């Protein structure tokens, strides 16, 4: 199978190597002729293309590994020249809305379109990094990645753009957790209680992540006023210890907002279901669900 890879950065080359080893023919397109692209091409005795329009019509599959800011432009250039029923895989970090626009254009041109999101650090786990994907060509994409031993999982019931949206939401969670971890554990290290803090957090390991997060949401809409006091005291103590405090003010703001909303419009139950909690949160914040 001829696979055109647009963008010879870390992502593109990470998957080009196992695909080549699996017997696929790689057509490498790198607009900047980067040193990594030249080295890869020399290693496999490949030519490097510098035009998307030149590569696209030659391929059974085109894989876009460019920056998200140019994702739509590259997709439009490739789709206009691709063969009917070929497969376009978007592995960029583009806006989900732009991915959906590109998918619509692909459908008009009878090209299969899949967006694939990387869930993890490929610098550490390389082609074994977990991927999720969505779009009309997802079965073909799973087979293609699987031929090189790459784990790609379908987003259940998903359409193109859903994988990118999930990756962004995952980043909101993981990057927020990362920031809070830095703020919390710097304070723990200064007080000499880092190991004890790990022990104090060990109860979280006893429940599944889904159950734990669900419990946070369900109880937040009832106990935010009481928990606000804990957040305020935690911030006071960190400031008294001359520790950097960047995350907690935002946490406090959210708890203050929820506490005020509970004061003016409390739930009718003290044990809401997850659906009831979401319904109240959306309504209290004036957002359509």
What CATH number is given to the structural domain containing 241?
A: 1.10.1040.10
pLDDT at 121: 87
Q: Which residue is listed with tokens 């990387």?
A: 118
**Same domain? 31 vs 146:** yes
Task: State how far the Cα of 234 lies from the Cα of 240, in Å rounded to an integer.
Answer: 10
**Same domain? 190 vs 88:** no
Measured N-to-C along each axis, helices 209-240 and 248-264 cross at an angle, to the nearest 10 degrees, of: 110
Task: State how far the Cα of 215 lies from the Cα of 208, in Å rounded to an integer.
Answer: 11
Q: In 3D, which of 177, 175, 174, 130 has the Cα closest to residue 155?
A: 130
Whether residue 198 lies inside any domain: the answer is yes
Q: Is 169 exposed, middle or buried (0-12, 13-18, 19+ CB in 10 A)?
A: exposed
8 touches 14 (CB < 8 A): no
**Same domain? 122 vs 177:** no
**Same domain? 182 vs 66:** no
Task: State how far the Cα of 162 lies from the Cα of 165, in Å rounded to an integer.
Answer: 5
Question: Tens digit of pLDDT for each residue in 99-147?
Answer: 999 999 999 999 999 999 999 889 899 999 999 999 999 999 999 999 9
List C-alpha distances in Å: 20 to 9, 30, 44. 16, 17, 9
pLDDT at 142: 98
List C-alpha distances in Å: 23 to 20, 142, 176. 5, 17, 41
End residue of a domain, out of 105, 126, 159: 159
End residue of a domain, out of 124, 159, 194: 159
3-state secondary structure of 5: strand
**Same domain? 172 vs 205:** yes
Q: What is the largest CA-CA distance in the chain?
A: 70
Share of the chain above pLDDT 90, in %: 89
Mean pLDDT value across residues 249-256: 97
Whether residue 118 lies inside any domain: the answer is yes
**Same domain? 171 vs 154:** no
Q: Is 270 exposed, middle or buried (0-12, 13-18, 19+ CB in 10 A)?
A: exposed
Share of the chain above pLDDT 70, in %: 100
Whether residue 289 lies inside any domain: the answer is no
Task: State how far the Cα of 235 lies from the Cα of 233, in Å rounded to an integer.
Answer: 5
**Same domain? 6 vs 135:** yes
**Same domain? 46 vs 147:** yes
Mean pLDDT value across residues 41-54: 91
**Same domain? 100 vs 193:** no
**Domain limits for position 11:** 2-159
User: Which tokens sit at 208?
Assistant: 């599944």
Q: Is the pLDDT of residue 64 over 90?
A: yes
Task: State how far the Cα of 288 lies from the Cα of 283, in Å rounded to an integer.
Answer: 7
pLDDT at 152: 97
Q: In 3D, which of 72, 79, 76 has the Cα closest to residue 95?
A: 72
pLDDT at 177: 95
pLDDT at 96: 95
Q: Can you give the pTM of this predicted structure?
A: 0.86
**Same domain? 183 vs 262:** yes
End residue of a domain, out of 141, 159, 177: 159
- Other C-beta atoms closer than 10 Å to the C-beta of 157 total 7
**Same domain? 46 vs 127:** yes
What pLDDT band is residue 37 in, cutting at 50, 70 and 90? confident
**Same domain? 128 vs 89:** yes
Counting the structural domains of the chain, the total is 2
Question: Tens digit of pLDDT for each residue in 186-209?
Answer: 999 999 999 999 999 999 988 899
What pLDDT band is residue 89 in, cutting at 50, 70 and 90? very high
């Amino acid at each position: 199978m001829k696979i055109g890879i647009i963008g010879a950065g870390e992502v593109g080359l990470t998957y080009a190597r196992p695909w080549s080893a699996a017997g696929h023919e790689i057509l490498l397109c790198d607009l900047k002729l980067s040193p990594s692209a030249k080295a890869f091409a020399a290693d496999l005795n490949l030519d490097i293309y510098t035009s998307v329009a030149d590569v696209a019509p030659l391929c059974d599959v085109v894989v876009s590994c460019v920056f998200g800011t140019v994702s739509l432009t590259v997709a439009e250039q490739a789709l206009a020249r691709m063969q009917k029923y070929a497969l376009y895989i978007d592995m960029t970090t583009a806006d989900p809305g732009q991915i959906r626009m590109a998918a619509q254009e692909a459908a008009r041109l009878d090209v299969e379109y899949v967006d694939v999101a990387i869930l993890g650090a490929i610098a550490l786990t390389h082609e074994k990094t977990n991927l999720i994907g969505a779009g009309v060509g997802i079965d073909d994409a799973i087979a293609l990645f699987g031929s090189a031993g790459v784990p790609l999982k379908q987003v259940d019931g998903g359409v193109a753009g859903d994988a990118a949206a999930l990756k962004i939401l995952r980043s909101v969670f993981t990057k927020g957790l990362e920031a809070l971890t830095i703020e919390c554990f710097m304070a723990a290290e200064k007080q000499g209680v880092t190991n004890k803090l790990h022990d104090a957090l060990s109860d979280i390991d006893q429940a599944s992540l889904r159950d734990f997060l669900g419990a946070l949401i369900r109880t937040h809409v009832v106990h935010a006023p009481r928990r606000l006091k804990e957040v305020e005291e935690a911030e006071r103590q960190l400031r008294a210890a001359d520790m950097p405090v960047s995350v907690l003010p935002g946490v406090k703001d959210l708890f203050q907002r929820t506490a005020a909303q509970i004061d003016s419009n409390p739930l009718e139950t003290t044990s809401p279901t997850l659906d009831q909690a979401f319904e109240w949160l959306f309504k209290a914040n004036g957002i359509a669900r």
